[in-house]
Chains A and B, each alone.
Chain A
Amino acid sequence: MIRVLVADDHSIVRRGVTGILAAEPDLVVCGEAATCAEALAAAESVDCDVMLLDLNMPGRGGFDVLQEVRRLRPSLPVVVLSMYPEEEFAPRVLRAGANGYLNKETAPDELVRAIRTVVSGGRYVSQSLGLHLAAAMVTPRSETPHEDLSDREYQVFVRLAGGSSTSDIAVELALSSKTVSTYRSRVLEKLHLRTNADLVRYAIEHKLVN
Chain B
Amino acid sequence: MSNTLRSLALLARGIGIAAGAFAIAHIGNLSLGEHGLAVWWPLNGIIVATLMIAPRERTARILTAVTAGNLAAYIYSDFGILSGWYALGDAAEISIATWGLRRFVGDRVALSDTRHVLAIVVTAVFAAIPPGLVCAVLAARVGHHGFLSFFRTWWLADALGMILAAPAVVGLVDLFRRRRSFATRVWIESGLMTVLTFAAAAAAMSQSSIGTMDLAADARYLVFPFLIWSALRLSPQVTAVAVMTGALSAACIATPFVHPVMASAVAHMFAIQLFLGIVGVTALLLAATAQGMRDALTRVVDSEGALRRLSVDLDRAREDERARISAEIHDELGQELTALKMEVARRTTDDPRWRLAVLPQIDRTIASVRRLATDLRPPSLDHLGLPAAIESHTQQFTRRTGIRTRVSIGQAGHGVKEEPALALYRVVQEALTNVARHARARSVSVDMTEDEFALVLEIADDGAGFDEVGKGQGLGILGMRERLARVGASFAIERRHPAGTLVRCRLPLARKVAA
Contact = CB atoms under 8 A, between A and B. Distances in A.
Interface of A: 10, 12-13, 15-17, 19-20, 23, 55-56, 61-63, 83-85, 87-89, 92, 104-105, 107-109, 147-153, 175-176, 178-179, 182-183, 186
B53 interface: no
B383 A89 contact: yes
A7 to B, nearest CB: 14
Contacts of B363: 105
B335, B337, B341, B370: which has the most chain A beta carbons within 10 Å?
B335
B452 A152 contact: no
Contacts of A151: 406, 445, 447, 458, 460
Name the 9 nearest CB pairs between A and B, nearest first. Answer: A108-B345, A16-B342, A150-B408, A12-B339, A151-B445, A104-B338, A10-B335, A152-B447, A16-B339
A56 B460 CA distance: 35
- Determine the main DSSP class of A at the interface with B: helix
A19 B366 CA distance: 20
Contact of B341 (A105, A152, A182, A186): A105
- Determine the main DSSP class of B at the interface with A: helix
Contacts of B460: 151
Contacts of B370: 83-85
A55 B380 CA distance: 11
A16 B449 contact: no
A107 B447 contact: no
Interface in B355-395: 362-363, 366, 370, 374, 379-380, 383-384, 388, 392
Interface string B380-422: 1001100010001000000000000011101010000000000
A180 B58 CA distance: 85
Contact of A56 (B346, B374, B379, B450): B379
Contacts of A147: 406
Contacts of A175: 449
B233 interface: no
A62 B383 CA distance: 9
B366 A105 contact: yes
A147 B442 CA distance: 12
A89 B374 CA distance: 13
A23 B374 CA distance: 34
B449 A150 contact: no
A149 B338 CA distance: 40
B330 interface: yes
Nearest to A18: B342
Nearest to B385: A92
Contacts of B380: 84-85, 88-89
B304 interface: no
Nearest to A23: B346
Contact of B408 (A17, A19, A183): A183
Interface of B: 330-331, 334-339, 341-343, 345-346, 362-363, 366, 370, 374, 379-380, 383-384, 388, 392, 406-408, 410, 412, 445-447, 449-453, 456, 458, 460
B342 A152 contact: no
Contacts of B342: 13, 16-17, 19-20, 107-108
Given A61-B383, A88-B388, A108-B341, A13 B335 contact: yes
Contacts of B451: 176, 178-179, 182
Contacts of A186: 408, 410
B332 to A, nearest CB: 9
A140 B63 CA distance: 105
Contacts of A182: 410, 412, 449-451
Contacts of A108: 341-342, 345-346
B407 A16 contact: no
11 contacts: A17-B342, A83-B334, A83-B335, A84-B383, A88-B392, A92-B384, A108-B342, A149-B406, A150-B406, A151-B460, A182-B412
A23 B388 CA distance: 39
B506 to A, nearest CB: 12
Contacts of A105: 337-338, 341, 362-363, 366
A20 B379 contact: no
Contact of A12 (B336, B406, B410, B445): B336
A152 B408 contact: yes
B355 to A, nearest CB: 10
Given A104-B334, A151-B460, 11 more contacts: A10-B331, A10-B335, A12-B335, A85-B380, A92-B384, A92-B388, A108-B346, A151-B458, A152-B408, A152-B458, A153-B406
Contacts of A19: 342-343, 346
A175 B334 CA distance: 45
A13 B330 CA distance: 13
A10 B383 contact: no
A61, A83, A87: which has the most chain B beta carbons within 10 Å?
A83
Given A56-B330, A179-B451, A63 B383 contact: yes
A178 B412 CA distance: 12
Contact of A10 (B339, B407, B453): B339
Contacts of A83: 330, 334-335, 338, 370
A58 B367 CA distance: 23
